[in-house]
Structure 1
Amino acid sequence: MSKIPTSIRNFDPNGLGYSGQLFGLPFEPENSQLLILPVPWEVTVSYRSGTARGPAAILEASVQVDLFQEDISHAWKLGISMLPLNSKLQAENNNFRLLADKYIRWLQDGAPEDQQEHFAPVPEIINDACRKMNDWVYAQAQQQLEQGKLVGLLGGDHSTPLGLVRALAKKYDGFGILQIDAHADLRPAYEGFDYSHASIAYNFLKLPQVQRLVQVGVRDLCAQEWNLSQSDARCRLFSDSSLKERLYAGTNWEVLCEEILADLPAQVYLSIDIDGLIPQLCPHTGTPVPGGLDYQQLMYLIKRLVRSGRKLIGFDLVEVAPGSDGGEWDANVGARILYRIANLAAVSQGKLAWR
């Protein structure tokens, strides 16, 4: 008797998907090869909030994504599912976000001395909460990696994938990170928070297993971040302005992609902050910046990475925020990015094949 569940045998990839299932697919975590870990956390956001609602919004929007991939055979059969949203983590995010927001507003008001005693303990309280979040992500990721699953993380803000990268650092002796982002995220800390969304790349570099950090699309960074990117031999920065200048001068995107990928080792972790794309694709993200990559530029770059023979060992998609007016555009874009990179990661690991 076949061990394939009836729902999978009878699934029509051309028809309606299953409501409440990621991409409408008939898979549960136990029979999926690739798991998405949702992390609804945005405690340290410094401008606009909303990214904590990203995983739920992408899950809802994902059922509208067509499953056919013109260059990948039977992509839907990979088996992709999303782990349940953790209600306790969501509640802790809401509570600590309120505290962090009050602290940030106090800083913006010039840190009045009459409230110094009240706010002085806040950074360590928030740092401790973020440490615990990262430890939870690490434990969840390690559990799935030990079962042979490919793991992708869905944020939340960009502070969320550190635990996953730590878990991968335990599994792999060395790997590179390809970061798509409007920001360098190389601050040692921001607003007193060691695990800020603005410090994720700095925290990546604390791991000796990270052999190379290649950043693409950056167009907003401070002098401290610039100096670090130029002084650390592991860093390579492809700013948006430098890429666009060369495109305007006649260098094509294929040549630029080859240069971007040249510094990456055989194993690569992909970190996509959606604000690395043009703001028209992510108008409600936390810190939008003019400029950026368009959708097909991003997809071409990742496809070239996989075609080069490099292996994607994990990935994240972060900073997707649904519109406060109920608009679904950000989540629709995010869902399509998530499906495509999941399938490309699977091709890189031999779990799917090119047509």
Structure 2
Amino acid sequence: MPSKKTSAPKPAATATKAKTAATANKAKSAGKKMPNFLGLPDKNSSAGNSKVFIVPVPYEATTCYGKGTKNGPKAILEASTELERFDDELWAEPHKIGIHTTEAVSVPKVIRTTEKPFQKITDAIKPYIETDKFPIILGGEHSLTLGAVRACAERYKDLSILQVDAHADLRPEYQDNPYSHASVSYQLYKCLPQPLITQVGIRNISREETEWLEKEHPRVNIFWARQQHKWNFQEIVDTLSDNVYLTVDVDGLDPSIMPATGTPEPGGMSWNQLMELIKLVCVKKNVVAADFVELSPIKGMHAPDFLVAKAVFKLIGYRYALDLGVTKRY
């Protein structure tokens, strides 16, 4: 008996299958888990045993000049796997309090008409805030901070923001988008129940922003980079409320140590200044969450990636120094 002749698949059906497969692969890739922070084994990184939750958010939609912030989370996590897990300043191993790295949060592009901007981030962060865990978001561009702060502000009505940045980011909107990374501080100010922002390292601001500051007299404290030789970190931290959200835009650092960012500005903070600030705010205040944003990795240049990974590591140690049994002055 002659075999049945198999008809070739119709072009339309083939195209549909290919499109479906591509969509499935894209979705699988988007939800793929990134490396564990510090490359930790399960016993130090399981969700059930962790106090710290590293949340990668590779969101990029409104970057103005240099691109690549969407690659920031992966670069930071990969660099972290090569860090030493012992902190020679604290004389302790911060990872022992448990550090869980979540799957990346995929965020749709946010525009003027978006009804609930960055809601996926809010939904991802809220459970950690409600259970006294410590989420650290790895960006991604700076606009994503709004989603995390909303989650924190629901619980902490006195929440204030400590912002390390080169730019004030106080425009009501930029390029017809109120949710641009150039407008994030303005949006944060508007969403806080008791608005209070302290900015450190600012050295780029527009006339539009200064007019708003002069007219409205908002509770925005600016510590200008040009005056950093006069900074008193105790005075800076004293401007904040008891509960603090820390946001670090890496362009707040000097480009000599942080060239891997879209809009670098000369005259920024040093590593030691950043560490002193983070240390003191962790000692004096309740830092409820944090983010590190605007890293745009440069191929073949690993130092900036390691810098951010190390900053995250140091933040965890400072935040949980007492839990780690640190009793000496550091």
- The separation in 1 between residues aligned to 2:271 and 2:213, in whole angstroms, is 26
Q: Which residue of 1 aligns with 2:90?
A: 71
Any conservation in 2 of the 1:268–1:314 contact (CA below 8 Å)?
yes
Q: Of 220, 241, 244, which residue of structure 1 is paired with 2:226? A: 241
Any conservation in 2 of the 1:313–1:345 contact (CA below 8 Å)?
no
1:161-180 equivalences under 5 Å are 161-180=145-164
Higher helix share: 1
| Larger radius of gyration between Structure 1 and Structure 2 | 2
- The separation in 2 between residues aligned to 1:50 and 1:298, in whole angstroms, is 23
Any conservation in 1 of the 2:158–2:242 contact (CA below 8 Å)?
no
Deviation at 1:72, TM superposition (A): 5.5
Any conservation in 2 of the 1:314–1:345 contact (CA below 8 Å)?
no
Q: Which residue of 2 aligns with 1:322?
A: 297
State yes or no: 1:81 paired with 2:100: yes
How big is the alpha-carbon RMSD for the aligned residues of Structure 1 and Structure 2?
Answer: 2.0
- The separation in 2 between residues aligned to 1:48 and 1:210, in whole angstroms, is 34
How many pairs are equivalent?
289
- The separation in 2 between residues aligned to 1:128 and 1:332, in whole angstroms, is 37
User: Cα distance 1:258–1:228, how it changes in 2: closer, same or farther (>3 A)?
Assistant: farther
Deviation at 1:263, TM superposition (A): 1.1
- The separation in 2 between residues aligned to 1:232 and 1:146, in whole angstroms, is 33
Q: Of 25, 28, 50, which residue of structure 1 is paired with 2:68? A: 50
Deviation at 1:41, TM superposition (A): 0.8
- The separation in 2 between residues aligned to 1:353 and 1:212, in whole angstroms, is 32
Deviation at 1:341, TM superposition (A): 1.3
1:92-111 equivalences under 5 Å are none
Q: Which residue of 2 aligns with 1:354?
A: 326
- The separation in 2 between residues aligned to 1:175 and 1:353, in whole angstroms, is 27
- The separation in 2 between residues aligned to 1:64 and 1:284, in whole angstroms, is 19
1:253-292 equivalences under 5 Å are 256-292=232-268
Any conservation in 2 of the 1:180–1:217 contact (CA below 8 Å)?
yes
Q: Of 276, 283, 295, which residue of structure 2 is paired with 1:300? A: 276
State yes or no: 1:159 paired with 2:143: yes
User: Cα distance 1:38–1:133, how it changes in 2: closer, same or farther (>3 A)?
Assistant: farther
| Unmatched 5+ stretches in structure 1 | 1-18, 97-124
Deviation at 1:261, TM superposition (A): 1.6
SS at match of 1:281: coil
Q: Which residue of 2 aligns with 1:196?
A: 180
The aligned amino acid for 2:157 is: D
State TM-score, norm by structure 1. Answer: 0.76
State yes or no: 1:332 paired with 2:306: yes
| Unmatched 5+ stretches in structure 2 | 1-33
Any conservation in 1 of the 2:66–2:296 contact (CA below 8 Å)?
no
Q: Which residue of 2 aligns with 1:25?
A: 40
